[in-house]
Amino acid sequence: MGFSRKEYAFLSEIGLSSGNLGCFVNGTWKGSGPVVSTLNPANNQKIAEVSEASIQDYEEGMQACSEAAKIWMQVPAPKRGDIVRQIGDALRSKLHQLGRLVSLEMGKILPEGIGEVQEIIDMCDFAVGLSRQLNGSVIPSERICPKMIGSVVNRSKSYDVGGELLMWNPLGIVGVITAFNFPCAVLGAPTTPLVTIAMTKLVAEVLEKNNLPGAIFTSFCGGAEIGEAIAKDRRINLVSFTGSSKVGVKVQQTVNERFGKCLLELSGNNAIIVMDDADIKLAVRSVLFAAVGTAGQRCTTCRRLLLHESIYRTVVDQLLDVYKQVKIGDPLEKGTLLGPLHTSSSRKNFEKGIEIIKSQGGKILTGGGIIESEGNFVQPTIVEISPDANVVKEELFAPVLYVMKFKTLKEAIEINNSVPQGLSSSIFTSKPEFIFKWIGPQGSDTGIVNVNIPTNGAEIGGAFGGEKATGGGREAGSDSWKQYMRRSTW
């Protein structure tokens, strides 16, 4: 089946058509649930149709996945790593097509779409090396007893080398419920099903080439009904949820009721602090990228800007100037810096948010309105407001930046830490004493604590995630892999 618009023809290169089955179940494609249309947020016109999963599809898929997991868990970790390497290579071969799809279906500008696909390719490369480093440990034992390690190492019956052995084994099935804003890096959401399907097809080809069960990677395009089923399913050892804090609490409660494990990546309300000794030009560029990128729809978007009172006016004036230069438009067009919000509902939430901001004393310095068009475009907005306003404590998923003054670093840190969320933060300064205060125990209480760089754009080598209402989960680097493993002590 062909596409109605010529500019969508590239989608056939990644296995998509105008009508798509949205479930990969036991190595085959199906979808007996509702048929939904996926829309281009730049004009709200249909891209394609997708047949979503039914509960029957879900149950069939989970039965097959449970059996496939038994096979996958017995594959040695380095061999599993090689499969991941092949998946990375498959993604690399379709980098630009996938990046274009992300921009088309989600709405972020093309460089960001390609960058997102590159991020998951980098994650695959990282995981390949990690597959040979899932090290356990031997712990000296206080007991004199015939443990296997003594007889194996010494090949004798002398047991004075006994020790406790710690091993890491695969946890089992992991269920992933994700959001729309990074549909490739963390898989797709109900409003970005084409990315999920295209990604799954590439993974499925790798599994088939290696004579592995397709059910190892089982995917469902669906809504709340499928998400609830995942949260309740005792066969799923870990549920990884990315989304709002409000929904995350419900997911966590459901998973906890069955004593499952939960990994939460939830809301962010991230602040940038600019001290009086900061490089102002660098800070302004960074704030623009952090506040406007992805139309303010990153969990790491800068939403609060804290400025030392002595440089407040200078920084605000420079920001207002660069905001005027932001090109708003089709995310696939060269030169566009700000694409649309993802859905028409997001645009309505933006309008409601602006009214609440005004009612709580916020002063609109620039922006504050929607852009009349077929798409979901809004104006990038800067608001002067008190840090004590209730609306500042919440996450408005849009390009809205709150600016406020402070006198001392202590006051700035208190404002930074005063919100329920704790994902990312950054300080701009050249003074070592400020930096070490900022990253220390009495500094920022967020999971990501940056210096002289934006709040967004985390590198894969470090653990990504936050504290408080952000959920406490960690992904990517450091020892985040341990969350997907079962610790066995012998």
Active site residues: 265
Radius of gyration of the chain (CA): 24
CA distances from 490 to 91, 107, 113, 137, 377 (A): 40, 51, 46, 11, 58
What is the rounded distance in angstroms from the CA atom of residue 14 to the CA atom of residue 438?
A: 46
Residue count of the chain, please give it: 490
DSSP string, 164-232: EEEEEEE---EEEE--SSSTTTT---TT-HHHHHHHHHHHHHHHHHTT--GGGS-EE---HHHHHHHHH
Q: What is the DSSP letter of 9?
A: G
Per-residue three-class SS string for 316-372: HHHHHHHHCCCCECCCCCCCCCECCCCCHHHHHHHHHHHHHHHHCCCEEEECCCECC
Distance from the Cα of residue 15 to its chain's centroid: 25
What is the rounded distance in angstroms from the CA atom of residue 285 to the CA atom of residue 283?
A: 6
CB-CB contact of 247 with 469 (8 Å): no
Residue type, 43: N
Task: Using DSSP, state whether 18 is helix, strand or coil.
Answer: coil
Distance from the Cα of residue 284 to its chain's centroid: 25
Q: Which residues of 339-355 are buried (b: 16+ CB within 10 A; e: fewer)?
A: bbbbbeebbeebeebbe
